[in-house]
Amino acid sequence: RKEVEQDPGPFNVPEGATVAFNCTYSNSASQSFFWYRQDCRKEPKLLMSVYSSGNEDGRFTAQLNRASQYISLLIRDSKLSDSATYLCVVIGNNNDMRFGAGTRLTVKP
């Protein structure tokens, strides 16, 4: 089993749709969680951190479920510019960093 697993995708959604991604992790001692966005041929950029209490930033909501060991990202009112690959990142108790394989999102007009 991979240490971090994401929805396989790709997700193709119309503008304005709501889309959700999940990411599961195997190390129960993991400490920090993030969602990154990566555009084609570019480096990943931090989208948002994920906190136990959940956090929201505009159209984006991230949640952490420690009991079930997964994090989620919800995007509301999708825009064309949201098209990208979304990576979940999990930091373990040894400061090791693990990526999910990424979920590709394409928002269409």
Partner 1 sequence: GAVVSQHPSWVICKSGTSVKIECRSLDFQATTMFWYRQFPKQSLMLMATSNEGSKATYEQGVEKDKFLINHASLTLSTLTVTSAHPEDSSFYICSASGLGSGNTIYFGEGSWLTVV
| Cα distances (Å, whole numbers) of residue 17 to 4, 7, 23, 27, 66 | 26, 18, 20, 32, 28
The residue from 42, 59, 66, 79 that contacts partner 1 (CB under 8 A) is: 42
Total residues at interface with partner 1 (CB under 8 A): 21
Tell me: does residue 96 bind partner 1 (CB under 8 A): yes
Amino acid identity at 102:
G
Site string for partner 1, 43-82 (x = CB under 8 A): xxxx--x---------------------------------
| Cα distances (Å, whole numbers) of residue 35 to 12, 31, 76, 95, 109 | 19, 14, 16, 17, 25
Interface residues with partner 1 (CB under 8 A)?
Answer: 32, 34, 36, 41-46, 49, 87, 89, 91, 95-102
